[in-house]
Structure 1
Amino acid sequence: MAGALTTVHPPDAMTSKTGPAPIRRGAGRAARLAGHRLAMLVVLLAVVFAAVELLPGDAAGATADRGASAAELAARRTALGLDRPWPERFRDWMTGLPTGDLGTTARGEHVTDVLAGPFPNTLLLGSLALVLAIGGALVLGSWAVLRPGGRTDRTIDTLATTAFALPEFVVSVALLLLLSQWTGWLPAVTLTGADGTPESWTMFVLPLLALAIPQIGWNTRIVRGALADQAALPHVKAAVLDGLPRHRILTHHVLPGALPVIAAGIATSAGMLLGGAVVVETLFNYPGIGAVLASAITDRDTPLVAGVVAAAGAAISLLLLLADLVRTTALGERR
C-alpha cells in the first residue's frame, strides 16, 4: 500500500486534469447545455402563444371599451395584429427578445415596464423561500441520515413526504387560519407601499412559508437519499471504522459526493417556487407577477403572458444550467 501511495506518475498524467483539454471539454459541455435550455425555452414560449390563442375571446374584445361596435373591434384587432396568424406574431415577438424587447401589451404599455416592479418582488420572495428550503432540507436530511432507521429518521421522512404532497394553496389556507385568523400573529394580506414593495417584513412571512414548506419536504427527501447513497460507499465506511466524528464524516466524506444530486433538486425547486408563486401571491395579495399573469390571461394579452413566462423561464433555465454543470463536472472528475 505504501508503494502505491508513493508511485511517481509521468508529468503528462499529472497535468492532464488541469490542462487545456478538460477546459475545452467543459466549455463545450456548457455550450451544449445552454443551447438545450435555450431551445426548451423557445418551445415553451411557442406553446404559450398557441395556448392563449386557443382561449375563447381575444385581447381586442377583452380590453375594448364597453359597448364598442363591431367595426371598432375589427379596427382594434388590426391594430393589435390579431388579424395575423399566431406563428407570424410569435416570430415577430421573438425578434425583439434578444434585445430585451418583450413587446407591447394590449393596453399599450411596454411589457418590460409592466414587469419592472412585480418581477423583482417575485424574485425576492422566491429567493428567500429557496434559501429557507435549502437550509431546512440540509438540516433535516443530515439529521435523518445520521440516525438511519430510527424514530427520528422515520419521523422526518413522514413529515417531508406530507409537506411535499400538500399543494401551495392548501398550505396557504392552513397558515392563514393558524397564524392569522386564529392567533392574529401575522397579517392575512399584503399591503403595498409607495415603492411597490410590502409595507412590513411581517407581510413576507406567510407567503414565504407557504412557498418554502412544500420545497423543504421535497429537498429533504432528496438530501436524505443522496447522503444515504454516499454513506454506503467504502471510503465512508472506512472513515467510520477509523473512529472519525460523525459530523466530520458528514461534511468531509458524505456531503461533497452528494452535492450534484442536491444541486439538481435545488434547481428543480426553483422552477416549482416560481410556479407556486403565482398561486401564493394571489392568495396573499403579494405584489408580484402572480397578479400580473392573472390579469394578462383575463385580457388574453399574449405578449404580456409570454413576457412573464420568458422572464421566469430565463431565471429557471439559468439555475437548471448551473445544476447541470455541477452534476456533469462532478461526474467528469470521478471518471
Structure 2
Amino acid sequence: MKILALPMFRRIALLVTLLAIVFFAVDLLPGNAARSALGREAGPAELAAKEHELGLDRALPVQFLDWISGVFTGDFGQTARGNSIGALLADKFPQTLLLGGLALLLTIVGSLALGCWWAMRPTALGSRILQPVSTVAVAVPEFVCGTMLILVFSLATGWLPAVTITSRSGFPAGPEMLVLPVLALAIPQIGWNARVVRSALLDVTAAPHVESAVLEGLPTRTILLRHMLPFAAPTIVAGYATSVGMLFGGALVVETLFNYPGVGAVLAGSVADRDATVVAAVVALTAMVIMVLLAVADFVRAWASRSAR
C-alpha cells in the first residue's frame, strides 16, 4: 500500500501545480470573465462592480487558493454568469466518460488481439503490414484521424454521421453517432499499445519456462495465455495506464470536432469567456478520473508482478 500511496501523493501535488498554471495562464489572456459576462456595452462602473462580485479584484494567488480550498470540499464554485460549475460538469461529464471509456475498452481489446497475433506470427504477411501501419497510427493526432474518418465514412460514403445529435437525455441520439469519435480516439492508442504488447511478449519469449513449454509441445494458445501474458502483464498494463491520460485528454479535442455533447464544449466556451474557474474545474475533474484509473492500473501492475514471480 505504501508503494501505491507515494505515486498518488505525487500525482495530487502535480495536479495542484497544473491547476495553478492553468489558472494563471487563463488570466494572461486578453479580457476577463466580467467583461465576457456583461458584454461590450458595460461601462467602467458596472464592470468594476462585476469584477468585485466575481472576486477578480483580488490578487490572483488569493483567488486560486480560495477556489482550490473549495474544490477539496467538492465545491467548484460558480461561472461568471452565476451558474453552478458542479451542476454544469455533472450534466456534461458523463458523456465524456462514456466516450473515453468506450475508447479505452476498444484500445485494450484491439491492441491485445493485434499485439498477441503479431508476436506469435512475426514472419506473417499481416505482421509485416502491421509494422508501418502501427507507426502511422501512432503518429497521427486524434484531430487528424477524426477528420480522415469524417472524409471517408461521412462525406464519401455517407455510412456514419459526422455530427452528433443530442437526445433529451443529453447523450447522443443513437449508437452510430459514437462510432467515429470512439475510433478517432482509439486508433492512435491501439497502434501504440499493439507495439507495447508485441514487445512485452517477445521479451518473455526467451524466458526458460516459455522455452520449456515450447519443447513440451504445448499448444500455442496455452503458451500465450499461461506462460507469456502473465509475465508480460506489468509492461502491458503500464502502457494502458499511459493511454488513459491520452484518451481523456484527446476526448476534449474530438468532442469539438464531432460536436459531441461533453465537457469539450464547456472547456472551449469557458476559455472564450476567460472564466478561469471553469477551465480549472474541467481540468481538475478530468485529472481526478485519470488519477483513479492510474491508481487501478498501479494496483493491477503490482498484483501482476507478484503473481508472475
Coarse TM-score class (shorter-chain normalised): over 0.9
Which secondary structure state, in structure 2, belongs to the residue aligned with residue 77 of structure 1?
helix
Q: Which residue of 2 aligns with 1:197?
A: 171
Deviations 1:237-296 (A, max 9, x none): 111111111111000010011111111111111111111111111111100011000001
The aligned runs of 1:83-102 (5 Å cut-off) are 83-102=57-76
> How far did residue 157 of structure 1 move?
2.0
What are the ranges of 5 or more consecutive residues in structure 2 without an aligned counterpart?
none
User: What is the aligned counterpart of 1:318 among 288, 292, 296?
Assistant: 292
Match of 2:214 among 234, 240, 243: 240
Alpha-carbon distance between aligned partners in 1 of 2:11 and 2:79, rounded to the nearest angstrom: 26
Asked if structure 1 preserves the Cα contact closer than 8 Å seen for 2:231 and 2:308, the reply is no
CA distance in 1, matches of 2:195, 2:49: 56
| Aligned amino acid, residue 173 of structure 1 | T
Question: Which residue number in structure 2 is paired with residue 219 of structure 1?
Answer: 193
Q: CA deviation at 1:328?
A: 3.7
User: What amino acid is aligned across from residue 24 of structure 2 in structure 1?
Assistant: A
TM-score (norm 2): 0.96
CA RMSD of aligned residues (A): 1.4
TM value normalised by structure 1: 0.89
- Cα offset, 1:334, TM superposition: 6.2
CA distance in 1, matches of 2:27, 2:207: 53
Aligned partner of 2:13 among 39, 50, 71: 39
Pick aligned residue for 2:281 from 307, 315, 331 = 307
Cα distance in 2, alignment partners of residues 208 and 242 from structure 1: 43
Partner in structure 1 of residue 182 of structure 2: 208
Instruction: Find the counterpart in structure 1 of residue 233 from structure 2.
Output: 259
The whole-number CA distance in structure 2 between the counterparts of 1:333 and 1:87 is 47
Give the aligned partner of residue 34 of structure 2. Answer: 60
Cα distance in 1 for partners of 2:215, 2:119 equals 17
- Residue 134 of structure 1 is matched in structure 2 by 108
Q: Which moved more, 1:188-197 or 1:61-70?
A: 61-70
SS at match of 1:210: helix
Write the mapping of 1:147-226 to structure 2, written as runs, cut at 5 A: 147-226=121-200
Larger Rg: 1
Distance 1:206 1:64 in 2: 38
Q: Equivalent of 2:272, from 268, 273, 298?
A: 298
Q: Residue 268 of structure 1 aligns with which residue?
A: 242
What is the 5 A alignment of 1:102-117? 102-117=76-91
DSSP-derived class of the 1:93 partner? helix
Number of the residue aligned with 1:249: 223
SS in 2 for 1:117: helix
Mapped to 1, the partners of 2:42 and 2:183 lie a distance apart of: 45
Q: Deviations over 1:274-319 (max 9, x none)?
A: 1111111111110001100000100111111111011100011111
Is contact 1:118-1:289 (8 Å) kept?
A: yes
Q: Distance in 2 between matches of 1:202 and 1:150?
A: 34
| CA deviation after TM superposition for structure 1 residue 330, in Å | 4.1
The alignment partner of 1:280 has SS state of helix
Instruction: Tell me, yes or no, if the aligned pair for 1:37 and 1:321 is still in contact at 8 Å.
Output: no
Structure 2 distance, partners of 1:117, 1:187, is 23
Q: Which range moved further: 45-54 or 291-300?
A: 45-54
Aligned equivalents of 2:308 and 2:167: distance in 1? Answer: 52
Q: Which residue of 2 aligns with 1:228?
A: 202
- One-letter amino acid matched to 2:244: A
Structure 2 CA distance for aligned equivalents of residues 181 and 189 of structure 1: 11
